[in-house]
Amino acid sequence: MEGVKVEIRPLDHILERGQANDTALVLKERAYSYAELREVVAQASAWLASIANPGDRVASWAAKGVWTAILPLAAPRAKLIHVPINPLLKEEQVRHILRDCGASCLIATTARLKLLDRADLSQACTFFSDEEASGLRDAFPGRLAASNADTDDLAAILYTSGSTGKPKGVMLSHANLWLGADSVASYLSLQASDRTLAVLPFSFDYGQNQLLSTWYAGGCVVPLDYLFPRDVVKACAAHDITTLAAVPPLWTQLVSVDWPPEATGSMRRLTNSGGALTRSLITKFREAFPSADIVPMYGLTEAFRSTYLDPALVEKYPTSMGKAIPHAEILVVDQTGALTKPGEPGELVHCGPLVAQGYWKDPGRTAERFKPAPSFSYYGGTAVYSGDTVMRDENDLLFFVGRDDAMIKSSGTRISPQEIEDVAIGSGVVRHAVAFGVPDEELGQTVSLAVEMIDDTDTSMTLLQKHLKHILPTFMHPRMVHPIGEMPFNQNGKIDRSSVIEQYGATGRGV
């Protein structure tokens, strides 16, 4: 692949990078060395190949366990395509994904299978509980050797959260996932001695990469399905965790609990994606994890990951997205398709080998997002046009401005929702915030703000109102502020913005 100097191999070869006797995976029931995990993948892929045909989609809908950990490798080795389904999804969403991808096989927990009405699902889809699948795998006599697949072959379909409609499947090749693992392992400086606590869903590209990048470095993954923030703290202490990744809403919860020295002493890095970090969060990170690197990142499922900020720059540029990660070319273009100058906003365009192959059986939406790269691109080929407005400064650092479809336009002025949200959270009385535009005949749109208060009192609301008026220019002042008892989140742990806007976007209720 032009411009890439890393040897790209079929995805299942990633386990060969660890030492045979080193621990690769730690589950509740047992730990697996690299040698043991290679054996499980070889046996599982042989069984899968016996029940499905090359190119078939194999879906999983289960809590973190051995199947959700190995299927990203075992399915591609069997020439199948893995479709991980978030365990938090409801039946209607799961049925849509199974129908959309045409899954031939679903491996799920027994409890989830009982919830699934199979009436209008394809008869060609076979259902296995994870316990049943493990029994059949263990009894299967064969072993499948490491794959010799073309690295451009599909390895996985990851479905987006569907915040703007029904979930759509992003098609990822062996090369996409291999280079994503190489890139993250490189810029995070992951080592064989690293132990990653995997708290994010494996159906989330950010979550699945916790597995792949750690194994690429020969390290150990400790998956965790947590109920409370303290569960994460306990796991960090029990397993000497060095790497912890989360999204902003989860970080907000995690920094609100006590972190004893035994839970932080081994921590080398904290990573964030799925939303910008605030200055207050970064300050709390420093207090709880004084010796750990803080690594803000930006990405989109269609190209996995685009940028990261060097930990050495976090204090000086806490709101920056940073620069392009290895194997990514990030361009900022204006409406004419030309490169923007420093300080000028434009659309983030991601070029290079991390770009996915489009949306599964959806050429219409694929054509909207995946287009020919600009003529001045180093990589050329197909690029992802993110729909995100960003700005590059004179130091070549990128800063998020807002999404094109989320930007508020009032009196002819474009207003970034994130800027308003950051100010609201910076008041110290707001836990989560969503800013959005409400149609207005005179102004085009007015600004509304939904907030989850830390302390829902009249005094706190008064403080917030004063803070907003003090910090924001007049044209950015929210006309309405809507207190929400508890902010809704989608299955990937991000704030469900569309739900908030649907509920409060057409109402006059507020403060």
d(CA 448, CA 152): 45
Per-residue pLDDT band at 2 (split at 50, 70, 90): low
Q: Residue 494: what pLDDT?
A: 86
Higher pLDDT, 65 or 120: 65
Q: Residue 491: what pLDDT?
A: 77
Please give the class, per CATH, of domain 1-175+184-222.
Answer: alpha beta
Q: Residue 409: what pLDDT?
A: 76
Residue spans of the domains in the chain: they are 1-175+184-222, 226-265+272-403, 406-504
Taking 50 as the threshold, does the pLDDT of residue 508 lie above it? no
214-245, pLDDT tens digit by residue? 999 999 999 999 999 999 999 999 999 999 99
Q: What is the mean pLDDT of residues 291-317?
A: 95
Domain 406-504 has CATH 3.30.300.30: yes
Q: Is the dihedral of CA 409, 412, 416, 421 positive or negative?
A: negative
Angle at Cα 498 formed by Cα 372 and Cα 486, nearest 5°? 140
Tell me how far CA of residue 125 lies from CA of 103, 122, 196, 367, 408, in angstroms: 6, 6, 34, 30, 45
Q: What is the mean pLDDT of residues 168-175?
A: 96
User: Across the beta sheet with 105-108, what order do the strands follow?
Assistant: 126-129, 105-108, 57-61, 81-84, 154-159, 169-173
315-333, pLDDT tens digit by residue? 999 989 999 999 999 999 9
Please state which CATH number belongs to domain 226-265+272-403: 3.40.50.12780
Higher pLDDT, 67 or 498: 67
Per-residue pLDDT band at 164 (split at 50, 70, 90): very low
Q: What is the mean pLDDT of residues 49-70?
A: 97
Burial of residue 190 (CB within 10 Å: 0-12, 13-18, 19+) is buried
3-class secondary-structure state, position 234:
helix
237-258, pLDDT tens digit by residue? 999 999 999 988 889 899 999 9
Judge whether 182 and 214 are in contact, CB under 8 Å: no
Angle at Cα 221 formed by Cα 217 and Cα 224, nearest 5°? 155
DSSP state of 311: G
d(CA 267, CA 416): 34
352-393, pLDDT tens digit by residue? 999 999 999 999 999 999 999 999 999 999 999 999 999 999
The pTM for the full model equals 0.86
Per-residue pLDDT band at 412 (split at 50, 70, 90): low
Q: What is the mean pLDDT of residues 331-348?
A: 96
Q: Residue 403: what pLDDT?
A: 74
Average per-residue pLDDT for the chain = 92
d(CA 6, CA 449): 46
Per-residue pLDDT band at 161 (split at 50, 70, 90): low
Nearest alpha carbon to residue 81 among 110, 62, 66, 60: 60
458-491, pLDDT tens digit by residue? 999 999 999 999 888 788 899 999 999 999 998 7
Per-residue pLDDT band at 177 (split at 50, 70, 90): very high
d(CA 237, CA 260): 8
Higher pLDDT, 383 or 161: 383
- In the chain, pLDDT over 70 holds for what percent of residues? 95
Give the number of C-alpha atoms closer than 13 A to the C-alpha of residue 245, restricted to the C-beta side: 29
Q: What is the mean pLDDT of residues 284-304?
A: 94
Crossing angle of helices 130-139/66-77, nearest 10°? 50
Alpha helices in 116-254 (DSSP H): 130-139, 174-187, 205-216, 229-238, 248-254
Q: Residue 232: what pLDDT?
A: 98
Taking 70 as the threshold, does the pLDDT of residue 296 lie above it? yes
Judge whether 58 and 80 are in contact, CB under 8 Å: yes
Q: What is the mean pLDDT of residues 443-465?
A: 92
Per-residue pLDDT band at 131 (split at 50, 70, 90): very high
Q: Which two tokens stand for residue 282?
A: 């970064």
Q: Residue 1: what pLDDT?
A: 53
Question: Comparing 1-175+184-222 with 226-265+272-403, is the CATH topology the same?
Answer: yes
Taking 80 as the threshold, does the pLDDT of residue 166 lie above it? no
Taking 80 as the threshold, does the pLDDT of residue 66 lie above it? yes
User: Scanning the structure block, which residue is given the tokens 């289960």?
Assistant: 62
d(CA 16, CA 172): 21
- In the chain, pLDDT over 90 holds for what percent of residues? 77
Helices then strands (H, E): number in the chain? 15, 25
Q: Residue 510: what pLDDT?
A: 52
Q: Which two tokens stand for residue 267?
A: 């921590």
d(CA 11, CA 151): 8
Q: Residue 124: what pLDDT?
A: 82
Q: Residue 73: what pLDDT?
A: 98
Burial of residue 121 (CB within 10 Å: 0-12, 13-18, 19+) is middle
Higher pLDDT, 142 or 418: 142
